[in-house]
Structure 1
Amino acid sequence: MKNEFKRVVFYSKYDLSADRNLESAEKIFKKLNSEDSLEVNDIIELYQIKLYFDHEIFLTRWDEATIQEYKDIVGKYWEWIRNFWISIDDENFLKLFTEIEFHYYDSFWSLISKFSTFKKISSNTLGNLMKNKRFNIRPVLRQRKIVDHFSREIKSYLIQSSETAELLLSYYEQEHFSDHPEMNFPKFKESEIEEIIENYLLSPNANLNYVRLIVKSRHLKLSDKIKLKAKKVSDRLNEEILEEGVTSNHRIGGTISADQKEPIKILRDEGTLTYSYSEKWLNHTNTLNGIFQNFSSLFKYINDQGCIDLVTKHYQIDSFENVLMRSKNEYWISQKFYEKGLLSHLQIALYLHYLEENDISIEEVISFQVNELLNQEFEISNLRISVPSKNISPYEKIRVLAPELEFLIKQYECYVEEGHIDFDLIQFSSSPLYFGKIKSIVEKKYVYGQGEEFIRLRRDFFSRQSMLHYVKPFQGKYSTFYQLIENEKVNYDQFENYQKGEIDYLISKGYLVTDEDNIIKINDSNLINVIGILHYEDVINYWHHPEELRKKINDLEKIKMVKFESKLFTTEERKYLNYYLNKKEFSNGLDLRNKYLHGTNSNLQDEQKNDLYILLKILILIIYKIKDDLEIKKFIQQTGANNI
């Protein structure tokens, strides 16, 4: 079959090239007949067309009769594919492989597996194939049946290959942020994996990114000796990059202004951001409760829906950071997370200095919140915390506060589960504290998006990577499709053909409508608002939103576009706490609690002081989360809002 247009390739269900590929497929439907001579790439192209139909992806201009007609044609194609593939054997296998076009490698091996063609291929033939310059082991490793059948041959190839270490590290240790194909490896002994990794570290081509994965590895069960060697290689490669590379500095500062009226001003000067806070405001709010509230209202530790704002948010990770390699075992320190952490650290340090100047201790503020305010305002009773004296060293304060932080959480956990705080039960229990297991006192607490439809809507309306907001009269003005249609009157005909397929889909599903002038508009603003909050915040704190939005969330839960979770902390909040307090979840965790408990902390007073700031910040955040949970319960009881 002479190919007069670009080959059809199925990339994914959501790829915007579907319309172009289906238009090419339509040309094949009209021109191809059973008498045509088909080569291996022609056959694989028919398989690509079948994948579109298997996923129910069609051109919007096709009516039901046309779709059925094409389905019948694709059914015939499947017979052609099958007949061709079962004819492959040891005699023609190598020749066919040399003819495969690059973008069809994966499909070639997928069909070899699907039709069990590998059973007709000898070990010698596979061995010869592996010597071919065009051979790539990755598509083979995606086929479990092939790997199992040729386990010995593939293992021998991998042990000798220079890319095996990177393959293993990428699959087992690297964090991937898009769909990543499954990889199947033959069984290696631990000593064989160690040898593969050690040889990689000795190689002059060792990549710093992969070497760092070795240092932080958990899944490959590497020895401390290998990790130490990797650490030394990592330090050497990092120094070489710093010597040759270019670095940039981002500076941040803070000050308290005596004559400033506004609570906060942000000043920019030659690459430095200075956060200026009004001393008049701080003086006006220097009650024990006012001081505590400033961490939310002034410093923005907590956002408008009662969630910790200092956590990693996926929309704040730019596209460049997304492509950088990192370990799946480490907490992601994105640029934005780093900046927020730096600012919050500066804020608490600056505020503690102000409080000290005014003879107020932060320990007194914390004690008032827990021992008095929470017990007085809510049904909970006997909630308590012991705080250190303000005159002792940072080291001694941490030694007091770290166990008290954990004890506070266990008290609230007991209250939620038992209906009251049972100190005997708490003291009797020796089970460790897991932030992910601590329940909320309300049934519906947090909402998370889920499913393919949610992912599609989030991408279409709010992702900067979506192509839907590139409309010629407004190009460069908006960064998302949502911003475009909320601020401009966009006519359907202004979209390009490659965009119209997705626009048609959104209209067919009722997410968009067109008016009498063919202007595109959002049909259900509550639904899109839910998607938007989930895009920018990763989570919705259900009871912080109006009744009409909660009703829409309930509707979306019924169709499984969202799910509820009744926990005290959100998913990202739990990760945040684990990162700072322990190493249960992340290899780069600061382990703040355990290092002081076991005496492995730094002896430098400045570092101890910084650790104290972090611990105080976390304690304040936890009190906010407990208070938010109790406030929601009180709201439900007083309004009967749970009945919507």
Structure 2
Amino acid sequence: MRDLNEKRVIFYGHDDYAAGVFRDRCQFLLVNAESVEFASINDAIEAHQTQLTVDAIPELFQWQLHDDYQSRSRILFHKACKFIFSELDSKNVGEVYAQVESYYCKQFWQLVESCRAWQKVKASDFERLLMDCPECLDAVLQYKMSIEYFGEEIKRALTNNPKHSAELIIRCLAAEAKSQKSFYLPGNWDNSQINHIMLSYIHLDAANPNYLQILQNWPSSKVSQYNPSPEVRVKAKRRYERFVDGLFQNGTGLRCSVSVIIDMNQRACKGAIREGLDLTYSFGGSWLKEYMDPATVMNNFIYLFDFVDSQGLILASARQHEANSILATLGMHVKGEYDRSTGFEMRSNLASIEAMAYANFLEGNGKRLESAIEWVYNQYFAEEFDINGFSLALPSQRATWLDKCKAVGPEIERAVKAYSLYSKYSAIDNEYFPYECLKSFSSLKALDDKKYVIAGLEFERFGNILFSNESLLSYLYSEDIGELSFYEMMKRHSVIRSNYPEYLQPMLSMLIDNGFVVESDEDGRLMPTDNTAFLRIIWEHGAVSLMRFREKDLDIIESLTKRRIVTYCDKLFAPFEADYLDYMFNNASFTNSVGLRNKYDHANSAVKDPQANNIKQDYFTLLSLLICITLKINEELMRKTGKGGLDSFIDWPYYDRSVLRLTKKIGMDKRGDSTENCE
């Protein structure tokens, strides 16, 4: 392998940021296509890379050369094929590959494939090269013809290099890829042979925990070429757990926690304390004990425990843009997995902890959380909305945690099926229940069209520029100032167009022309418009509820809809809410699902103690899901009928002073967030 020659042409693809970086070098080769003589295999590879560039990005050369630039690229390609055929006639493939510059390892095999030069390679020489350089397998297995010519040789090479082979198979078959590429395995291979490679890999000291984690969460529904055996999955899981335990036992990494207390000495409804990365939410015991009627109990999950946000959306759900853009790309991700950020994990855990703490508090005061939830279905929906047919029967207080988990799953399904029937027939008829099937929460329709506004096809185009922390406009070059987004830059600084270099001016023009940024007539300051403010809500919340907007705002929404920047959603749950519920409840939608319903319906493990703490935690997680679903159904019935809701608020301090101190500590007060109504 020769050293890198950074001046040589590499074809990156039409949409790559580096697509035109070698334009001048390509032009030189094209001009001299007829006279150029190749001195090495690298010259031939470069000629092929030039042809690929011309074919894929002809606009780079249309104004640089005469009309024959494409024919010149074909001349280069024919010369490249002639050269590699000559090389493989006089040398074995290992000798030819040894002359390839390090820049061109993958591109060498591209040339072999394009020139159909596989026929010139001897099987014994090819196998020897793969044994000595297993990294070649990455490129070789992208081409079906390599399998047709050298299937047995490739099998032996894969078996001989379990570390490289296992990681290659896992990466290409099961990991989420930024770009799709072909990948072929020998056709006469079966699962047992690949299992042997995987088991050998698991026992290696150098086994990568990222690959072990993918093995245990293998996306069987999305991969047909290989399905790991139970032995492979279990051993991968155990090896991964040992690695993680060893990694953190000496204090490596960061520890964060979220906890809940109900403080009888706190009069205000809500408080919060942060110590380092540990966050504690406190709730006033005085309020919670004073009002324990079923309606207030359920309302507390809206206004105190924040099970839904200001848009009425399930707060625990993962949002697409909540994670840092760079951090979101780190590590490996399984195909079809549910994206879990640290923020998501903390919110999801907080919901179940709050449900557990409140349930314990109510039981200590002679009430039950389950009774309040039953009241909604068995009494409130009929009395408030005149809708009969909803029912719920949650497990008794004396049942074990295991029995409670087994009982609550079907009750969630009963509640959802009843709503589904009402959405279809405007009534709940028991005769239809056996024919209702809940495969995904995304199938549940809203009672009217246009319940939510969500991102449309063109949303990311503008959203990434305005709100992403990777936006080139989020850095003020002339002042050396950076913000989390261009939106924040405009809000906090006096920004004018001349602050930005020439190459960013088209981006600014696009935002101005499309009504997302306006220039002040007085001083030229760039400011976000109402359109931008609306998009920001969708960027942060994932959706907006139309019932929370004024009539005059609907004109903005309609304009953005016509341009496909946003679109309407007619479902009970916004898409990301349905994803969250599917992830938590069943196994069908995501490869890393928690699948609590399936876990307790299908006896996924032996149970040593039906009162174990982990089973107790699962129960309150299921209960928190039921509460979220109940709040969403109730809001939809309110939206449809115009009934329900709060008549008035009780005069009671909402925030404790600890909340004000925390907002100052983390800098939220500088952003203009309200800290009023603190005791």
Identity %: 23
Secondary structure in 2 matching 1:382: coil
**For residue 136 of structure 2, what is the amino acid of its counterpart?**
N
Pairwise CA distance, 1:422: 1.4
In structure 2, the CA distance between the partners of 1:73 and 1:351, relative to structure 1 (3 Å rule), is farther
In structure 2, the CA distance between the partners of 1:245 and 1:266, relative to structure 1 (3 Å rule), is closer
Q: How does 1:140-155 map to 2 (within 5 A)?
A: 140-144=140-144, 146-148=146-148, 150-155=150-155
In structure 2, the CA distance between the partners of 1:380 and 1:430, relative to structure 1 (3 Å rule), is closer
- Listed one character per residue, the Cα deviations across residues 253-302 of structure 1 (whole Å, up to 9, x for unaligned) are 33334554543221223553221223344356544222212212221111
In structure 2, what is the equivalent of residue 91 of structure 1? Answer: 86
The answer to whether residue 270 in structure 2 is matched with residue 226 in structure 1 is no
Query: Could you tell me which of 355, 368, 378 is aligned with 1:361?
Result: 368
In structure 1, what is the equivalent of residue 475 of structure 2? Answer: 470
In structure 1, what is the equivalent of residue 390 of structure 2? Answer: 383
Q: How does 1:143-222 map to 2 (within 5 A)?
A: 143-144=143-144, 146-148=146-148, 150-162=150-162, 163-176=164-177, 178-187=178-187, 188-217=189-218, 218=220, 219=223, 220-222=226-228
**For residue 190 of structure 2, what is the amino acid of its counterpart?**
K
In structure 2, what is the equivalent of residue 78 of structure 1? Answer: 73
Contact 1:512 1:520 in 2 (8 A): no
In structure 2, what is the equivalent of residue 61 of structure 1? Answer: none
Pairwise CA distance, 1:310: 0.3
In structure 1, what is the equivalent of residue 494 of structure 2? Answer: 489
Paired residue total = 618
Partners of 1:349 and 1:625 in 2: CA distance: 20
- Listed one character per residue, the Cα deviations across residues 65-97 of structure 1 (whole Å, up to 9, x for unaligned) are x96556957545533444334435432355875
Contact 2:30 2:72 in 1 (8 A): no
- Listed one character per residue, the Cα deviations across residues 359-406 of structure 1 (whole Å, up to 9, x for unaligned) are 332123212322333334436332222344556554554454332221
Secondary structure in 1 matching 2:472: coil
Contact 1:255 1:350 in 2 (8 A): yes
Contact 1:582 1:593 in 2 (8 A): yes
In structure 1, what is the equivalent of residue 597 of structure 2? Answer: 593
Normalised by the length of structure 1, the TM-score is 0.81
Secondary structure in 2 matching 1:464: coil
Partners of 2:487 and 2:13 in 1: CA distance: 23
Contact 1:169 1:213 in 2 (8 A): yes
**For residue 186 of structure 2, what is the amino acid of its counterpart?**
P
In structure 2, what is the equivalent of residue 274 of structure 1? Answer: 280
Contact 2:358 2:369 in 1 (8 A): no
Pairwise CA distance, 1:580: 3.1
What CA RMSD, in Å, does the superposition of the two structures yield over aligned residues? 4.0
Secondary structure in 2 matching 1:249: coil
- Listed one character per residue, the Cα deviations across residues 449-483 of structure 1 (whole Å, up to 9, x for unaligned) are 355x5434333222223333222355454111222
Secondary structure in 2 matching 1:87: helix
Partners of 1:145 and 1:448 in 2: CA distance: 45
The answer to whether residue 272 in structure 2 is matched with residue 300 in structure 1 is no
- Listed one character per residue, the Cα deviations across residues 290-326 of structure 1 (whole Å, up to 9, x for unaligned) are 2212212221111122221101223333434641234
Which one is further off, 216-225 or 230-239?
230-239
Secondary structure in 2 matching 1:186: coil
Q: How does 1:135-534 map to 2 (within 5 A)?
A: 136-144=136-144, 146-148=146-148, 150-162=150-162, 163-176=164-177, 178-187=178-187, 188-217=189-218, 218=220, 219=223, 220-243=226-249, 246-258=252-264, 260=266, 262-269=268-275, 271-282=277-288, 286-318=292-324, 319-320=326-327, 322-328=329-335, 331-378=338-385, 380-390=387-397, 394-426=401-433, 428-429=434-435, 431=437, 433-449=439-455, 451=457, 453-475=458-480, 477-496=482-501, 499-500=504-505, 502-503=507-508, 519=524, 521=526, 525-526=530-531, 528-529=532-533, 531-534=535-538
- Listed one character per residue, the Cα deviations across residues 43-81 of structure 1 (whole Å, up to 9, x for unaligned) are 355346537735x7x7xxxxxxx9655695754553344
**For residue 390 of structure 2, what is the amino acid of its counterpart?**
L
Secondary structure in 2 matching 1:350: helix
In structure 2, the CA distance between the partners of 1:515 and 1:269, relative to structure 1 (3 Å rule), is closer
Secondary structure in 2 matching 1:274: strand
Contact 2:474 2:482 in 1 (8 A): no
In structure 2, the CA distance between the partners of 1:198 and 1:84, relative to structure 1 (3 Å rule), is same
What are structure 2's unaligned runs of at least 5 residues? 38-42, 644-679
Partners of 2:517 and 2:87 in 1: CA distance: 52
What are structure 1's unaligned runs of at least 5 residues? 59-65, 637-644
Normalised by the length of structure 2, the TM-score is 0.77
Contact 2:154 2:186 in 1 (8 A): yes
In structure 2, the CA distance between the partners of 1:313 and 1:597, relative to structure 1 (3 Å rule), is same
Contact 1:9 1:48 in 2 (8 A): no
In structure 2, the CA distance between the partners of 1:506 and 1:36, relative to structure 1 (3 Å rule), is farther
Partners of 1:628 and 1:71 in 2: CA distance: 67
